[in-house]
Structure 1
Amino acid sequence: MTTAQSSAWCRLVIWSRKPSAASNSSSISWNATFRADMADTAANLHFPILDDIARDLAGDVNFPTCLDAAVLVRNTLKDPFAELAQVAKVISVEPLICSKLLRMANSIAYNPYGREVTDVATAVSRLGFDVVRTTSLAVALDQMLKSRNLRAYEPLAKQVWEHSIQVAAIARVLARRLGRVNPDEALLAGLVHDIGIFYLLYRAADYPVYQNDPDAVQALLVGWHESIGENLLHALGMPATIIDAVRDHDQPSNVETPCTVKDMIYFANLLASRDATEIPGTPLAPDTPRQQQDRERYADLLAEAADDIAQLQHALAG
């Protein structure tokens, strides 16, 4: 089974949601052909975990605990009439998110005049809802990396997280330079573009087949992280622009004039993967002529993004 076939079948299983006749909720449309084909190929190694994830994403998603607060913050911020006090109250439930937001609000980037912020409401007001939304999810992802389930895959997960931070910072710088996309939206897309990897690693810890078998883990991530990531973002209620940016983000693209969040992630991912693959351990494929041209086109972004990368790492540290 090719990666393209795997992705297509995964989409058929997980994304084929049809309105229920009894309610406005969605119900999954399972495809028997997919299940039979999976069972008849080498991909059946991954069928149990993919089948379980598909079922979860079709109903009540079993989020890691560390994502609960981020989901709650995001749902609150989706309300166009949400008041500052209400948002601050929700954020205050999660001390780690509070501390990160206060640190950011008092950083040079948001506090150039040295007026210290000591309460959550003022920090939210200074940062804005977009930054709060992004930071809460970034903190949740960082905490997922430190969870018990990911201990066995800690070196790999840390490398992917560093890659995600680089992509996020480069995407924000590119968006800022071109002026066609909200830089904070590009930053958010960069941080979550590999959320499928983290979620698969988190779930893989419960399946003996992946213990002490790095090749099996690598095959799972390479074949499925984009599809699973896209579906997870659907479940998190992410905007369509973010979901579209994550979809097939590792595939070659032909972008003449970058003007969407997806375009920002394409170039940022390409630049951040210049010396190593996105998933550690996989072979570094040679660039196509177009990819080489695209790398050279925005090569100067790497130096420009260095400060943004350092600031983002500092904001999420400790």
Structure 2
Amino acid sequence: MGGQERLSLRRLKGFNPLGRLTDGQLVLLASRAERKTYSPGQKVMERGVRDGMDYFLVTGTVELNSQDGRKSVLEAETDQAANPVARLQPRMYDVTAVKHCEFLVIDQEVLNQLLRAAPVAQVEIDSMVGAGEESEEHHLLMEFYSELRSNQVQLPSVPEVAWKVRRLVDREDSGAAEVATAVSADPAMAVKLVRACNSPLYRGFSDVRNVRESVVRLGMRTTRQLVTVFAMREVFKSRQPALQKEMEKLWQHSREVAALCWVLADQATNLDPEEAMLAGLLHDIGIVQVLVQAEYHVNLFADEVNLHHAMSELRADIGCAVLEHWSFPKPFVEAARYAEDWQYECREPAPQLVDVVIVAQLHSMVGSSQSSGLPAFDEVPAWHRLGALELNASRSLQLLSEARKRVDEVQKLLSAR
């Protein structure tokens, strides 16, 4: 590592998933790692390259630029910089130094070998059946980390009708007739879209009679979001009865959060309510993938404690990977990553999808079996950022109580088969 100052074990453990390694493993890893520095304007990574290395930002600031032109800035020692930069391979971003920066560069295969050999943390051992033996959950976690980091995880595909509609709407020369034809190719989707257009949320002076009229009334953007929302129901499925019960519970929770997101976005922000609803529906998409994978790990899903721990551990990482794989914009990925991080504070000046999802999650858990350990509303940065209504705890609950009818209408929309 040259003449550069040695990174402390505490600093190394602040990076994910290095915190899973023992002190001895971290010392070994540090001896095999490389420290690289870059000057402002210098290219760190190129999109499309597969180099088998992980880059951890130690100091400085970099800019990530995706193929569709989206840009984001990443600063060292922030929550976002705890993970490897642009981890999926081939690289999905061009990464350029904004300020002088330094990276810890680690060979992915070396890291994967160490992770596979890492011991199970005591807190995990205490929660598992057969303590003292290597757990099925631990193997699943390590498999996921390894496959995710080498781009080998089999991520689900966006349902075909949603993919077609999104592509059409994103084209400037597409019209309502073309979008309606794509929707009509899926008769069940066509029925849902017309039903939605005639629901209290979108109804005009008269009912629409067909898909084309629905697209015209809703507009292309809303049509795209609603088709994606309706298509997502098909993703929440498992072939194993025990796991299907978990899928149903997850769908109910996601549906409740999505409905709350719609109302909060509509009344407390300038965000598109349909986008917020979709972000709420997708905030736990990583758990869907864990449940699908758990079908092949019988011992894991046979024990509910193990399964729920794996769901919690992998929710954010896998969810972000799925949404990036589906080419969802950064705000959706951010909402999935930080949906359960009550202390997360977005740096954008105006409220973002992540703020709405965090607050909707809080509201959905109040009074439920999940309410123990929840922070007070006024301790949550995202709640303060929804400032348009000058919310306080009682006003926040009052708002959603008054809007309960609309929440129920969105729920009904999402539950339609």
**1:157 aligns with one of 231, 247, 257:** 247
Counterpart in 2 of 1:244?
Answer: 334
AA matched with 1:313: Q
Q: 1:90 to 1:123 in 2, by over 3 A?
A: same
Counterpart in 2 of 1:13?
Answer: none
The residue correspondences of 1:112-123 to structure 2 (distance < 5 A) are: 112-113=204-205, 115-123=206-214
**2:368 aligns with one of 276, 280, 291:** 276
Q: Aligned-pair distance for 1:224?
A: 0.8
Asked if structure 2 preserves the Cα contact closer than 8 Å seen for 1:226 and 1:248, the reply is: yes
Q: Write the deviation string for residues 209-263 of structure 1: whole angstroms up to 9, x where unpaired.
A: 4241222211111001111111111111112222222222101226698622221
Structure 1's consecutive aligned runs of 4 or more residues displaced over 3 angstroms after TM superposition are 49-55, 58-62, 254-258, 291-295
**Structure 1 residue 9 and structure 2 residue 17: aligned?**
yes
Q: 1:47 to 1:216 in 2, by over 3 A?
A: same
What is the rounded CA distance, in whole Å, between the counterparts of 2:153 and 2:162 in structure 1?
16
AA matched with 1:121: R
- SS of the residue 1:27 aligns to: coil
Q: Aligned-pair distance for 1:108?
A: 2.8
AA matched with 1:160: L
Counterpart in 1 of 2:159?
Answer: 67
AA matched with 1:137: T
Counterpart in 2 of 1:46?
Answer: 141
Q: Aligned-pair distance for 1:102?
A: 0.9
**1:306 aligns with one of 394, 399, 404:** 404
Counterpart in 2 of 1:204?
Answer: 294
Asked if structure 2 preserves the Cα contact closer than 8 Å seen for 1:6 and 1:224, the reply is: no
Q: Write the deviation string for residues 94-131 of structure 1: whole angstroms up to 9, x where unpaired.
A: 22211110101122332242x23232121111122333
AA matched with 2:411: Q
Counterpart in 2 of 1:290?
Answer: 379
The residue correspondences of 1:85-124 to structure 2 (distance < 5 A) are: 85-113=177-205, 115-124=206-215
Sequence identity (%): 22
Structure number with greater CO (CA < 8 Å, separation at least 6) is: 1
Structure 1 unaligned residues grouped into runs of 5+: 11-15
Structure 2 unaligned residues grouped into runs of 5+: 1-12, 19-43, 51-66, 68-87, 92-105, 121-137, 384-391
What is the rounded CA distance, in whole Å, between the counterparts of 1:156 and 1:284 in structure 2?
21
Query: Rg larger in 1 or in 2?
Result: 2
Counterpart in 2 of 1:181?
Answer: 271
What is the rounded CA distance, in whole Å, between the counterparts of 1:76 and 1:163 in structure 2?
31
Q: Aligned-pair distance for 1:133?
A: 2.3
Q: 1:150 to 1:82 in 2, by over 3 A?
A: farther
Asked if structure 2 preserves the Cα contact closer than 8 Å seen for 1:97 and 1:136, the reply is: yes
Which of the two has greater strand per residue?
Answer: 2
Q: TM-score, normalised by structure 2?
A: 0.62
Q: 1:20 to 1:155 in 2, by over 3 A?
A: closer
Bigger shift: residues 230-239 or 157-166? 157-166
Asked if structure 1 preserves the Cα contact closer than 8 Å seen for 2:159 and 2:231, the reply is: yes
Q: Aligned-pair distance for 1:17?
A: 8.1
CA RMSD of superposed structures (Å): 3.5
Q: Aligned-pair distance for 1:196?
A: 1.1
Aligned length: 300
Q: 1:138 to 1:7 in 2, by over 3 A?
A: farther
What is the rounded CA distance, in whole Å, between the counterparts of 1:244 and 1:308 in structure 2?
26
Counterpart in 2 of 1:19?
Answer: 47
Which of the two has greater helix per residue?
Answer: 1
